Amino acid sequence: MMTGIEQFLADKGIYYLTFLLLSFGVYGIIACKNYMKKLICMNIMQVAAIVFFLSLGQKKGATIPVLIEGLTNADSYINPLTHALMLTAIVVSLGTTGVGLALLTRIREKFGSVEEDDIIRRQNKL
């Protein structure tokens, strides 16, 4: 019974949950009215993309990608390429958050609020 669930999870379950997390992130960006919440959902979406990439690089029964004297064959180490790429994605998400918050501060100063409908109403008056 245990291997049944594990087999389903390994085959499709983890990918399905990751894409679910990604689609909730995108849904949050579209549905939330507050600009701060849109920023947080954007971060969540980027973490979902990172989890998807990392789950591509998994190997059953392999250790972390730091070389040990005894082990030399390639199947005993996790795929290091996906980790190197995901460091880039995390740093990109921090950069985008920083710029987003800078914009948010200026929008709050100029329009007095961060709610989407207040901004659209005041924007037409500007």
Partner 1 sequence: MMRKVIGIIVIIVGLGYVFMSFDFLPVIGDSTAPAHTHVSDYYIENALRDTHSPNLVTAVLADYRGFDTLLETTVMFSAGVCAVMILGSKSHIRNRFLVPKKILKGKPEPGVSAYKTVNKDVMVTLIAIMILLYAIYVLLHGEVGPGGGFQAGALMALSYIVSMMIAPDTRPLFSLSKANAAALAGIGVFIYAFTGLLTVFNGGMFLEYGRLPFPVSNEYLHTIGIMLIEVGVTIGVMATIITILKAIIERVRFDDDRD
Partner 2 sequence: MIQHYPALVVILPLCGAALSLALTKIHLHLGRNVIFLSMALSFYMSIMQLRNVVINGPMEYRFGGYAIPYSIEFRIDTVNGLVVAMVALMGLITAFYCISGEIRSEKLKVGGAYAVVALFVAGMLGNASSADAFNMYVFLEITALAAYCLIALGGNRGMVAAFRYMLVGTIAGTFYLLGVGILYSATGTLNMQDMSIIIQQGGKDEAVLVALCLMIAGLGIKSALFPFHGWQPSAHTHEERGSAALIAGVMVKIPVYMLFRFVYCVFGTNFKYMQQILIVLGIFVGIGMMYGSIRAIGQTNMKKLLAYSSITQTSYFMLGIVIGSPVALAGSLLHFIGDAFIKGGLFYCAGAIKYKFGTVNIDNFGRIYKKMPVTSALIVAGALSMIGIPPTVGFFSKWYIAMGAIQTGKYIFVILLIISSLLNAIYFFKIIEKIFMSKDKGLEDVRPVKKGELPWSMLVPMSVCIVVIFLLGFLNVKIINMVLPLLKGVGM
Partner 3 sequence: MSPLIIEAILLLALIAITLAVIFNRDLLIVIITYCAFSFIAMFLYIVMSSPDVAFTEAVIGVISTIYFIITLRKIDRRCK
Which residue ranges make up the site for partner 2 (CB under 8 A)? 22, 26, 29, 35, 38, 42, 45-46, 49, 52-53, 56, 81-82, 85, 88-89, 92, 95-96, 99-100, 103-104, 106-107, 110-111, 119, 123, 126
Could you tell me which stretch among 18-26, 42-50, 116-124 binds partner 1 (CB under 8 A)? 18-26
Nearer to partner 2, 20 or 89 (CB): 89
Residue whose CB is less far from partner 2, 5 or 98 = 98
DSSP code of residue 69 = S
Answer for which of 81, 105, 110, 123 binds partner 3 (CB under 8 A) is 105
Evaluated on CA atoms 54, 57, 58, 62, the torsion sign reads negative
Ramachandran region, residue 82 (left: φ > 0; alpha: ψ -120 to 50; beta: rest): alpha
Exposure class string for 58-71: b at 16+ Cβ within 10 A, else e: eeeeeeeeeeeeee
Q: Rounded to whole angstroms, what are the CA distances from 14 to 42, 93, 110?
A: 21, 22, 44
Residues that bind partner 1 (CB under 8 A): 9-12, 14-16, 19-20, 23-24, 27, 31, 55-60, 62, 64-67, 72, 74-75, 77, 79-85, 87-88, 90-92, 94-96, 98-99, 101-103, 105-106, 109
